[in-house]
């Protein structure tokens, strides 16, 4: 019998066992949680017991997580379908040394970082200006990871933003670029275009719109552009001077790229010193991931909790619920990170997966979600594992009482998921209101919470740049570990290509330049309506 079979058998043997019963006797909360670097990861409110944890650890060991981890950090080409190393970790460990194809890549990484830092200081200090003087606003134009990552981080670290205001444009819908630019002054706006190849259709369409907007208000619009790209010929053709072009290697994937030049807008907003804190937090989590034994390793246990819930228990989704308004974009960021990375159907060797791949990831910040989808989580027919995030302290000392209320709501929700409410308890609540007999039972049933629903909590001191770096790196490594266990490549994304190809073919049809002949009936009908 395989380890997977052992896990399924163990789960089946204990289906329905109250999670609350696991807290009887030994100090379960302490034994099923991990503390490191100021963080506390508590997975005690899951059905994972000592036997299940042991089997999960053996599963990670058998999959070669440790070996694969060192191969990644060592610069091996673990992205096998594209023949690339995976070295976003190098971007936040500037003192390290990593060899790829026999060459130490870190001198170049450090050089690019130094150029980004110098440019960020120039923009912040007024050394670099627009036609109207000091830069007041930075518009970052990107797509997918080159947008979500810095956009999420800029919002998360807004208390530290003391530079030009950062704005983000990604959607090819013209409303997005129009609405962002409409509020800005072209004479004091810097536009950063993030596209490695400088060919991404969505990004370049928005870049062209931004250039036209600048051209209507300034004499030399190209002078107020910078680019994150390796395509120096294309950036030059666009008019961007080479000193304002910042490249990065092909071993940095888009959804892992915020640590390098893609994070330039973030560096400008919060300053190089705070950006360095963000990198330091990521590097600290890297060290923990590499050094901590699996049972004490946050990334490994977060991943194994995900494996338990998805592949063993059959829960197809997980909700990410940050009780931190400034982490409002974290669920969307994790949607891309996890679902693009592990939403695969074939193993590394090209064979069909025999297990479900990554789950559907979704969520919203608390307390907003409590009166939206928490109804489904608490009383719906499907079990949805929840991942809570909450800080001990907020950034508004004058509103400490509100932060306590926020924390209380977070802890209350995870407790409610655990405990639930029985029919007898519901009857006891309603009986003093004069209800009796069948009506009492009917009303009480609506107030029953099944409980026994799993959740984890990641608690942190305060959402500083360092802590955000820890959180982002933690989830990156969680994705990696889950991918290794499932035997898939977490670092390619071929599933996004077909739709892009078809979109390019449909544009001339919509423009009336080509016929819709050969398209299916539904596509022809929709083209006819929308053209």
Identify the three-state secondary structure at position 253: coil
Q: Are residues 512 and 474 in the same domain?
A: no
Q: Tell me if 468 sits within 8 A of 280, measured CB to CB.
A: no
Q: What pLDDT sits at residue 145?
A: 80
State CA 168 to chain mean position distance: 16
Alpha-carbon span 531 to 515, nearest angstrom:
12
Domain span at residue 42 reads 3-63+293-419+453-487
**Domain count along the chain:** 3
Matching residue, tokens 């740049």: 465
The two three-digit tokens of residue 232, written as one number = 């120096």
C-alpha–C-alpha distance, residues 474 and 29, integer Å:
21
Residue 236 lies in a domain: yes
237 part of a folded domain: yes
The 10s digit of each residue's pLDDT in 333-356 is 999 999 999 999 999 999 999 999
Contacts of 362 (CB under 8 A, 6+ apart): 317, 318, 319, 320, 331, 335
The pLDDT-based confidence of 143 (bands split at 50, 70, 90) is: confident
* pLDDT tens figures, 423-443: 999 999 999 999 999 999 999
Q: Is residue 389 part of a domain?
A: yes
Residue with tokens 């070669």: 64
**Helices within 308-357 (DSSP H only):** 330-342
Residues 466 and 404 in one domain: yes
Cα first-last separation, the chain: 58
Residues 382 and 469 in one domain: yes
Q: Same structural domain for residues 35 and 114?
A: no
183 found inside a domain: yes
My answer on whether 192 and 256 are in the same domain is: yes
pLDDT tens digits, 191-236:
999 998 898 889 999 999 999 999 999 999 999 999 999 999 999 9
Angle at which helices 465-486 and 145-156 cross, to 10°: 140
Express each pLDDT in 284-341 by its tens digit: 999 999 999 999 999 999 999 999 999 999 999 999 999 999 999 999 999 999 999 9
299 and 395 in a single domain? The answer is yes
Under DSSP, the state recorded for 531 is -
pLDDT at 166: 98
Conformational region of residue 456, where left means phi above 0, alpha means psi within -120 to 50, and beta covers everything else: beta
* Secondary element (H or E) of residue 281: helix 272-291
pLDDT above 80: residue 1: no
Q: What is the CATH number of the domain that holds 384?
A: 3.40.50.10490
Query: DSSP code of 170?
Result: -
Residues involved in catalysis: 340, 371, 500
Please provide the DSSP assignment of 205-223 as one string. Answer: HHHHHHHHHHHTT-S-GGG
Joined tokens for residue 526: 């929709």
Give the CA distances from residue 205 to residues 142, 208, 236, 498, in Å, rounded to whole numbers and listed in that order.
11, 5, 17, 19
Task: Examine the domain organization and report whether 333 and 457 are in the same domain.
Answer: yes
Number of H helices, E strands in the chain: 20, 15
> What is the percent of the chain where pLDDT is above 90?
91
Which residue, 137, 210, 205, 143, is CA-closest to 170? 143
Tell me the CA distances in angstroms from 7 to 11, 15, 176, 308, 311, one per residue in order. 6, 12, 47, 8, 10
Q: Cα separation of 184 and 193, whole Å?
A: 17
Examine residue 55 and state whether it is found in any structural domain, yes or no: yes
Q: Is the pLDDT of residue 448 over 80?
A: yes
Residue 518 belongs to some domain of the structure: yes
Are the beta carbons of 469 and 263 closer than 8 angstroms?
A: no
Output the average pLDDT for the chain.
95
Using alpha carbons, select from 285, 291, 297, 288 the residue that is nearest to residue 33: 297
Statement to judge: residues 54 and 100 lie in one domain: no
For residue 168, pLDDT beyond 90: yes
Same domain, 483 and 501: no
Contact indicator for 299, 490 with CB cutoff of 8 Å: no
Q: What is the pLDDT of residues 449-480, one digit of tens each?
A: 999 999 999 999 999 999 999 999 999 999 99
Output the pTM of the full model: 0.95
81 lies in a domain?
no
CA 214 to chain centroid, in Å, comes to 32
pLDDT in tens, 55-109: 999 999 999 999 999 999 999 999 999 999 999 999 999 998 999 999 999 999 9
pLDDT in tens, 26-56: 899 999 999 999 999 999 999 999 999 999 9
């Amino acid at each position: 019998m395989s380890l997977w079979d052992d896990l399924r058998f163990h789960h089946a043997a204990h289906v329905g066992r109250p999670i609350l019963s696991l807290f009887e006797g030994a100090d379960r909360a302490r034994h099923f949680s991990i503390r490191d670097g100021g963080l506390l990861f508590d997975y005690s409110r899951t059905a994972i017991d000592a036997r299940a944890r042991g089997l999960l650890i053996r599963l990670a060991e058998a999959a070669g997580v440790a070996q694969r981890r060192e191969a990644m950090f060592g610069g091996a080409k673990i992205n096998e379908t594209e023949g690339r190393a995976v070295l976003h970790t190098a971007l936040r460990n500037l003192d390290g040394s990593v060899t790829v194809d026999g060459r130490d890549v870190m001198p170049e990484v450090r050089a690019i970082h130094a150029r980004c830092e110098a440019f960020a200081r120039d923009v912040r200090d007024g050394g670099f200006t627009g036609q109207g003087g000091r830069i007041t606003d930075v518009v970052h134009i990107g797509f997918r990871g080159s947008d979500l990552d810095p956009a999420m981080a800029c919002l998360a670290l807004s208390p530290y933003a003391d530079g030009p205001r950062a704005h983000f444009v990604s959607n090819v819908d013209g409303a997005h670029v129009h609405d962002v630019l409409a509020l800005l002054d072209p004479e004091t706006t810097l536009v950063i275009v993030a596209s490695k190849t400088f060919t991404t259709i969505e990004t370049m369409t928005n870049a062209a719109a931004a250039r036209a907007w600048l051209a209507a208000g300034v004499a030399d619009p190209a002078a107020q552009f910078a680019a994150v790209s390796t395509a120096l010929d294309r950036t030059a053709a666009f008019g961007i001077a080479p000193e304002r072009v910042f490249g990065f290697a092909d071993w940095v994937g888009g959804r892992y790229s915020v640590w390098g030049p893609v994070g330039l807008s973030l560096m400008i907003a919060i300053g190089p010193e705070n950006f360095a804190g963000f990198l330091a937090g990521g590097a600290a989590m890297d060290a923990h991931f590499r050094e901590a034994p699996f049972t004490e390793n946050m990334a490994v246990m977060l991943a194994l909790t995900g494996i338990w819930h998805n592949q063993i228990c059959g829960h197809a989704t997980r909700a990410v619920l940050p009780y931190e308004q400034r982490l409002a974009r974290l669920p969307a960021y994790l949607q891309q990170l996890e679902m693009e990375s592990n939403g695969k159907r074939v193993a590394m060797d090209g064979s069909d997966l025999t297990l479900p791949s990554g789950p559907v990831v979704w969520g919203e910040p608390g307390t907003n979600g409590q009166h939206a989808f928490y109804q489904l989580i608490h009383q719906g027919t499907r079990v949805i594992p929840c991942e809570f995030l909450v800080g001990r302290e907020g950034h508004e000392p004058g509103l400490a009482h509100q932060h306590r209320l926020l924390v209380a709501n977070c802890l209350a929700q995870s407790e409610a998921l655990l405990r639930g409410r029985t029919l007898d308890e519901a009857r006891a609540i309603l009986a003093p209101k004069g209800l009796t007999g069948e009506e009492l039972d009917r009303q009480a049933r609506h107030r029953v919470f099944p409980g026994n629903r799993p959740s984890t909590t990641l608690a942190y001191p305060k959402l500083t740049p360092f802590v955000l770096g820890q959180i982002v790196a933690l989830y990156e490594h969680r994705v990696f570990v889950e991918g290794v266990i499932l035997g898939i490549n977490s670092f390619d994304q071929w599933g996004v290509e077909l739709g892009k190809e078809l979109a390019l073919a449909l544009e001339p049809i919509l423009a009336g330049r080509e016929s819709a002949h050969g398209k299916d009936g539904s596509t022809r009908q929709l083209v006819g309506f929308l053209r």
